[in-house]
Structure 1
Amino acid sequence: MSLRCAIFMLVLLGPVIHHAVAEPPRDVLDTLRAGHPRLFVLDDELPRIRQAIRDQPLAERWLATLQDKAEAMLDEPPVEHVFATVRPRLLDKSRLALKRISTLAGLYRLSGDKRFAERARKEMLAVAAFEDWGPRYFLDIAEMTTAVAIGYDWLFDELSDDDRAVIRTAIIEKGLKQSLPLYDRQKGWPMVSHNWNQVCNGGMTIGALAIADEEPALAAKIITAGRDSIVRAMRTFAPDGGWPEGPGYWNYATRYNVFYLAAIEPALGTDFDLKKMPGFAQTGLFRIYNTTPTGRQFNYADGHDYTNPAAQMFWFARTFNQPICAGYERDLAEHRPSIFHLLWFDERGRSPRDDDLPLSAVYHNIDVAFLRSAWNDPDAVFIGFKGGDNAANHSHLDLGTFVLDALGHRWALDLGPDDYGLPGYFGKQRYSYYRTSTRSHNTITLDGANQNRRAAAPLIAFETSPQRSFAIADLTEAYAPKVTSARRGMALLNRQQVLVQDELDIKSPAALRWNFMTEAGIELDGATATLSHGDVKLTARILSPADARFEVLSAAAPAQERQQPQVRNLSISLPAAAGKIRIVVVLTPGGDGADPPAIQPLDTWSKQ
């Protein structure tokens, strides 16, 4: 009998448990759910999941996909304690263990196939025997603790007493106790507000909940410390749900933030009111806005432009009654589900267009704006534009940069991160590298220099209408003390043309360069450039200064850095000058048939 048939025969009537939200008890373990499983998904919820698999063709296909992966895992050797070659860490092994254990244990819970439980047991015992879980980088420990804690909790009744003792000891000694010096001294990741906070607090709390009945004092200490610490990271979502580290780290941070919440609520009967924190309920929409009509991302910071699945979107859909998040994720993850896509499956949800989601949005907490001409149209115009903070974690010196998609192609691109193993990539040498420097981004350089490392660039104006949607960033801090003021406006006109307008007041003569990184073919004709992806065209035209001309520059990086031979820089170079300078460029997808807009000072944009 197939696994799918077995699951269909196991469909049972039963209520879906809705976990009540309560105030934190005097002792965090007073309300600990007895027995196992207690993390993420309770046994009472399995009938709903089996019913969804029976009723929903996509859920059935996902089950088949995960079953195939699990069958392959049966013959694979367990992970080994082997460090990565470039950076001495175990993170890839931790993630592989998490993928295997959660998939195998989750499918066992759905089907009762003991082969999967036994293979997950072997994986847990193998990593429990490691000499350590990578103490140099706590992310390695956190993700391995998550992996083993899930297996311990979900397979508790399938493990022998000896197995439980070995696995529990590993969780405690190689996972939980490694966090105590940091919690006690209030140093390192417990004090930061970026992804490390959510991943490490999430991993430690999940581990503590798994063994809380056997080691209550240790578990209570870690759960309390984690609760107090994760608030720092969750404040970053306020007020509207944006994330400063880019889309890839949004996925990582929210995955573990949701893991944390999805673990404490069934285990303790409370979420400590964390779901009510400003901006968190809106962050699923941020992911939708950050995804372009072609399915790529606005990949600012150390972000890649491809889009990875995020099962937490289903959790957002159910928790905050946002079916649009579920509809989005079903489309995206159709061929790449995780076990959590199946366990949190939500069949509701329509497209952003059908839900009347506004076309454009601004995220004031990170000073990023998204402008688009349509939803559900792969040829639509999309602009991702950022001010932001150069001091943010994983930031590049890229204030004022943007990406542009139209007619099914990316025209202005962000190169993304370089190799994390480069010397000083997260230290003093970080902004000496091409990809993290100002000169590789679609913004302005003065005298070829980087922007100020501590500069912030607020979006000082944002408006949207069918005729004109725009955002304006104040870039003055980025170029101080060379400028009295610097601003960039990005506008989408009549849902067709894109206007890029820069206004600077330069104190003393400085050479200015305007940059536009592209993989498109380029043909120059003075103040006009025709870009092409095959037969698809986009025209760039300089409207100001009148004597400015386009040129094509190399985008090559130094030899030891990541190369991008297919990328070139469509640039405007102005000789050293002081005083007020205005650069206006209009970008027209599909050719140059539309009339250029009249130039209006940025101060007047809100008055039109």
Structure 2
Amino acid sequence: MSTPYYQSAYQDSTPGLNNAPYSDDPMSNEGFKYAGGGAAFGGAQVAAPKPWYKKKKFLVSYVDLALMAGAGAVDVAALIPFFILIFNPPMILDSDPIGIPAVIAAIIIACVVGGVVGSRNDDDNSNSNANNAAQPSPSDAAQSKLSSGRFSTDTNDAGVPIYGNNGTNSKLFQAPTFLSDQDDELNLPTCDESPPSFDGDGIQVTTDRPRIGGVAGRWECLKDMIDADAYMSYWNQSIFDEAQHFLDTPAPAWIPDGGLTGSGVLDQARECQMAVKSLSYAYRMTKDDKYKDGVWDRLQVIGGVKETPAGTDEDSKTYGSGTEGETNNWNPKHFLDTAEFMNSFAIGYDWLYDSWSQDEKDWIRDTLVTYGLNHSQAENNYWWRSESGNWNCVCNGGMINSALSIWEDDTSGLAEQILNEALENAKSNCVYGAREDGTWTETSDYWYFGTTGWSLATSSLIASTGNEQGMLTTNPNFYKTADFHMYNFGNQAKFDYGDTGPNKYTATANALVLLGRETKTPEYMLYQRDRADATDAFNMLWYDPHVAGAWWNNMPLDRYFDDSHTQWASFRSSWTDNKGLFAAIKAGNTSGHQTHGDLDVGDFVIDALGQRWAGELGAANYLGENYFNSEAQDAERWQWYRKGTEGQNVLLYNNTNSNAGVASDAAFGTSNTTQGATMDIDIDDDSTGFYTSDITSSYYGNSVKRGLRLLNKRRQILLQDDIDTDAQMQWRIQTNATISLNGQSADLELNGEKMTVRITNPSDTDLEFGQEKAEPDSSDELPENGEGENAAIPNVDSHGNETNVLTIDIPAGSYSLQISFEPQWDGMSSDDFQTPKNVAIDDWSLRSHDA
């Protein structure tokens, strides 16, 4: 089972291919960086002690039991003692523990109802994918929702939900919806969650508290919602586990990563924010002073007036050590640090406002102004003020939240000034981190940081001022970034092109939940709630427990994102089968990603059989000299193996990097296959999808066109390169599989699963597969010869296994190189795989490869 989010900091390691750590500083095997209690990054993953809810082993999930009872597969009466014996979680609400949560009782009762509901399911779904099944009545849908509990009760290492095979159920897996008129059926309270309303012009701020992240009325209803909803009950308990973890764990030591102007103290700032958030939530729910004391302790450490025992000397024990000037304790030279520290103070000040003494309020507010808001004026002209993407969202977000938190208590006018300046700058930059098709401007991993900054600021604006103040509407395409994230995730991990960023800590994908609420798009909310990072105090304020259905119902398996900077496509055989097939491929332009991109035009990834067979290596050394300085052809960035052409799943021309900063052309086609109300999708014979790109400009005028296509009912992949080259090329993919070479075929084996890769065209040449290690020829070209902070990151997986490169050496000439990827599915033999038709990429169409 996966490590709890708060202990892993959700680094998002790609299974098989390991992402780089944020720096080369080691993580303690016993905890967070510089402190205690979690998992390691950059080396072998170390499992943290599992909390109570992770220790129990269940043979079946809530969903399984409900469906089995409804279908008559088990005796309902026999389930009751099962639930009574198994479930007795120490749910903490107020000061009294609750025995069996109300949601469990609801599941038991609904199982009886399910005997009637379930008996009709087979008749409802004559279509194998249930695409044509009628929507259930709201009452039936509510009963199914209660009986199901959580769809997924575990995730893999990348946070992808592990779903059981629960077949077809048109009531439980209905099209996504909000059951807004079913409060009684869902056992939900009637709540007033309306944001404030004002007359007059200009921004006005409510005096209601709390207001950071959500309205006060939501807090008043949380306990009843937790009793009624399985997801909120699980998140609530997990947040209490997290709060206890932080009570037992000191604030991390003040050890700048690569110096204050390198990566600074960003990890410490985000870890402290996690602590303040969970402890503040726990106090609001229980009024237990131990949680308030925990918040006060963290704020005093952050404020530099109390030492942390995690430090080993005076400098590492005291926050602010080494900064120049009396008011620079939060390191404004690396303003991300400042913004995240500001968020901690904004949350602590607002969520515990009524419990602080006047002296405590004055100290928190004065510290926030001195170390945060006084460094936030536009006149400072920070570089990120003119950039879209994560820096702008995080920095402006911290400023917006801080200004809102102290609004009526600030008599200087500074809060109003900062709010207006930060809001206008965010509307001009942050919101355009999402391009017209929703693709995030930097990379798929930096999406987390940008959208987390955006969502916290936007939710606080709604709760404080009555509306989103243009954070959602200024860029009319911003909402599409939720689709970008959903399609970017494969069956095992993300399509992790480019840099994979620092440790996550506070960064989650819960912007999908807020976007689902604000755009009334239930599939966004349903998708995110099963993810490992859904457990978060802000999610408790954004999630709508009226949401029901299956997010995948009627969602196309394929999608093309056509913005010219990335031009990428996503294909899969199922949304819910973790062992299914997934492929993603990109072209685009290597510039315009805020120096977080790679020389990766034509890059792709493949998942199948629960493994990633062709993957990404992630970030190199963030502290390396000039790593972020340029995306130009001669940029030192490309000297790192992970950033240059040789470290991608692309063609390498004449053993040199590809041409940087040039555009590509791409095309896409799909049969538009959807999954429907089932976890067991039946793929039609003519189901397919394809992507083609003309990437000639990346290869110095040598004609190169690449295409990827799904074949054989989405069980096989064709990768084709039509090449006319005046010098040698090399075909390359990075893999952690063990490779066995057989001339024009290669057998890959990974964690007990197998894939065969075949050269199907040309068959009458000397082209054969080869194998190399995933490493540069030498480190001589790296700054300082790869010494110290310029060192290369070893290309190994989380178990220390080396990454291999499957290659084909291609002499100068003209070729149509066709490679067939053939996962060795159960029940399929070599005769079941197709030899693809030889069709020029320019002639590809939906039906071009039909037999």
Greater mean alpha carbon deviation, residues 321-330 or residues 410-419? 321-330
Residues 306 and 33 from structure 1, CA distance in 2 versus in 1: closer, same or farther, beyond 3 angstroms?
closer
Kept in 1: contact 2:706–2:722 (CA 8 A): yes
- SS at 2:520 equivalent: coil
Matches within 5 A, 1:448-527: 448-465=655-672, 466-480=686-700, 482-483=701-702, 485-493=703-711, 494-506=713-725, 509-527=726-744
Take 2:197 and 2:805, find their aligned partners in 1: how far apart are those partners? Answer: 53
Kept in 1: contact 2:618–2:642 (CA 8 A): yes
Take 1:467 and 1:2, find their aligned partners in 2: how far apart are those partners? Answer: 47
| Counterpart residue identity of residue 405, structure 2 | A
**Alpha-carbon offset, residue 357 of structure 1:** 0.5
Residues 107 and 305 from structure 1, CA distance in 2 versus in 1: closer, same or farther, beyond 3 angstroms?
closer
Take 2:658 and 2:210, find their aligned partners in 1: how far apart are those partners? Answer: 51
Name the structure 1 match of 2:394.
Answer: 199
Kept in 2: contact 1:403–1:414 (CA 8 A): yes
Kept in 1: contact 2:196–2:464 (CA 8 A): no
Name the structure 2 match of 1:73.
Answer: 246
Name the structure 1 match of 2:571.
Answer: 371
Take 2:255 and 2:280, find their aligned partners in 1: how far apart are those partners? Answer: 24
1:4 aligns with 2:93: yes
**Structure number with higher relative contact order (C-alpha < 8 Å, ≥ 6 residues apart):** 2
Take 2:481 and 2:548, find their aligned partners in 1: how far apart are those partners? Answer: 17
1:564 aligns with 2:781: no
Kept in 2: contact 1:385–1:400 (CA 8 A): yes
| Counterpart residue identity of residue 841, structure 2 | L
Name the structure 2 match of 1:166.
Answer: 363
| Counterpart residue identity of residue 524, structure 1 | L
Match for 1:18 among 178, 194, 207? 194
Kept in 1: contact 2:213–2:538 (CA 8 A): no
Take 2:716 and 2:440, find their aligned partners in 1: how far apart are those partners? Answer: 28
| Counterpart residue identity of residue 162, structure 1 | D
Name the structure 2 match of 1:143.
Answer: 340
**Alpha-carbon offset, residue 255 of structure 1:** 0.8
Take 1:243 and 1:456, find their aligned partners in 2: how far apart are those partners? Answer: 18
1:291 aligns with 2:464: no
Kept in 1: contact 2:524–2:551 (CA 8 A): no
Kept in 2: contact 1:52–1:345 (CA 8 A): no
Name the structure 2 match of 1:282.
Answer: 480
Greater mean alpha carbon deviation, residues 377-386 or residues 296-305? 296-305
**Alpha-carbon offset, residue 434 of structure 1:** 0.4
**Alpha-carbon offset, residue 341 of structure 1:** 3.0
Tell me, which stretches of 5 or more residues in structure 2 are unaligned? 1-89, 99-186, 305-318, 321-328, 630-634, 673-685, 780-785, 797-801
Residues 13 and 537 from structure 1, CA distance in 2 versus in 1: closer, same or farther, beyond 3 angstroms?
closer
Residues 349 and 583 from structure 1, CA distance in 2 versus in 1: closer, same or farther, beyond 3 angstroms?
farther
- SS at 1:136 equivalent: helix
| Counterpart residue identity of residue 474, structure 1 | D
Take 2:345 and 2:380, find their aligned partners in 1: how far apart are those partners? Answer: 26
| Counterpart residue identity of residue 342, structure 1 | M
- SS at 1:243 equivalent: coil
Matches within 5 A, 1:41-56: 41-56=214-229
**Alpha-carbon offset, residue 533 of structure 1:** 2.4
CA displacement 1:249-297 (0-9 Å, x = unmatched) = 1111111110110011111112123323222222222222122123x11
Residues 273 and 22 from structure 1, CA distance in 2 versus in 1: closer, same or farther, beyond 3 angstroms?
farther
Name the structure 1 match of 2:746.
Answer: 529
CA displacement 1:348-372 (0-9 Å, x = unmatched) = 244443x210000111233111011
| Counterpart residue identity of residue 3, structure 1 | I
Residues 34 and 453 from structure 1, CA distance in 2 versus in 1: closer, same or farther, beyond 3 angstroms?
same
CA displacement 1:48-68 (0-9 Å, x = unmatched) = 322221112332232222223
**Alpha-carbon offset, residue 161 of structure 1:** 2.1
Match for 2:539 among 341, 359, 382? 341
Residues 207 and 155 from structure 1, CA distance in 2 versus in 1: closer, same or farther, beyond 3 angstroms?
same
1:222 aligns with 2:418: yes
Kept in 2: contact 1:7–1:50 (CA 8 A): no
Name the structure 2 match of 1:544.
Answer: 761
Name the structure 1 match of 2:301.
Answer: 126
Take 1:2 and 1:110, find their aligned partners in 2: how far apart are those partners? Answer: 11
Name the structure 2 match of 1:90.
Answer: 265
Kept in 1: contact 2:263–2:623 (CA 8 A): no
Residues 169 and 51 from structure 1, CA distance in 2 versus in 1: closer, same or farther, beyond 3 angstroms?
same
Matches within 5 A, 1:171-250: 171-180=368-377, 183-184=378-379, 186-213=381-408, 214-215=410-411, 217-231=413-427, 232-250=429-447
Take 2:462 and 2:387, find their aligned partners in 1: how far apart are those partners? Answer: 24
Greater mean alpha carbon deviation, residues 258-267 or residues 218-227? 218-227
Take 2:537 and 2:768, find their aligned partners in 1: how far apart are those partners? Answer: 54
**Alpha-carbon offset, residue 342 of structure 1:** 2.8
Name the structure 2 match of 1:405.
Answer: 607
- SS at 1:371 equivalent: strand
CA displacement 1:186-234 (0-9 Å, x = unmatched) = 5511110121111111111111111222146322222222222223232
- SS at 2:579 equivalent: coil
**Alpha-carbon offset, residue 503 of structure 1:** 2.2
Kept in 2: contact 1:297–1:304 (CA 8 A): no
Matches within 5 A, 1:92-111: 92-111=267-286
Residues 22 and 529 from structure 1, CA distance in 2 versus in 1: closer, same or farther, beyond 3 angstroms?
farther
| Counterpart residue identity of residue 381, structure 1 | L
- SS at 2:619 equivalent: coil
Matches within 5 A, 1:415-430: 415-427=617-629, 428-430=635-637
| Counterpart residue identity of residue 498, structure 1 | I
CA displacement 1:466-509 (0-9 Å, x = unmatched) = 432011123133223x42x4321111123122111122344xx2
Tell me, which stretches of 5 or more residues in structure 1 are unaligned? none
Name the structure 1 match of 2:324.
Answer: none
Residues 185 and 421 from structure 1, CA distance in 2 versus in 1: closer, same or farther, beyond 3 angstroms?
closer
1:554 aligns with 2:780: no
- The structure carrying a bigger strand percent of its residues is 1
Kept in 2: contact 1:352–1:375 (CA 8 A): no
- TM-score (norm. length: structure 1): 0.90
Kept in 1: contact 2:256–2:264 (CA 8 A): yes
**Alpha-carbon offset, residue 90 of structure 1:** 1.2
Match for 1:389 among 589, 609, 615? 589
1:576 aligns with 2:785: no
Take 2:97 and 2:201, find their aligned partners in 1: how far apart are those partners? Answer: 43
Kept in 1: contact 2:196–2:465 (CA 8 A): no
CA displacement 1:542-570 (0-9 Å, x = unmatched) = 13344121111121244731112521111
1:270 aligns with 2:490: no
- SS at 1:272 equivalent: coil
Greater mean alpha carbon deviation, residues 110-119 or residues 369-378? 110-119
**Alpha-carbon offset, residue 312 of structure 1:** 2.5
Kept in 2: contact 1:21–1:271 (CA 8 A): no
Greater mean alpha carbon deviation, residues 120-129 or residues 12-21? 12-21
Provide the aligned length of Structure 1 versus Structure 2. Answer: 593
Take 1:314 and 1:99, find their aligned partners in 2: how far apart are those partners? Answer: 19
Take 2:349 and 2:207, find their aligned partners in 1: how far apart are those partners? Answer: 15
- SS at 1:390 equivalent: coil
- SS at 1:414 equivalent: coil
Identity of matched residues, % = 27
Kept in 2: contact 1:297–1:306 (CA 8 A): no
Kept in 2: contact 1:21–1:273 (CA 8 A): no
**Alpha-carbon offset, residue 174 of structure 1:** 1.3
Kept in 2: contact 1:360–1:469 (CA 8 A): yes
- SS at 1:54 equivalent: helix
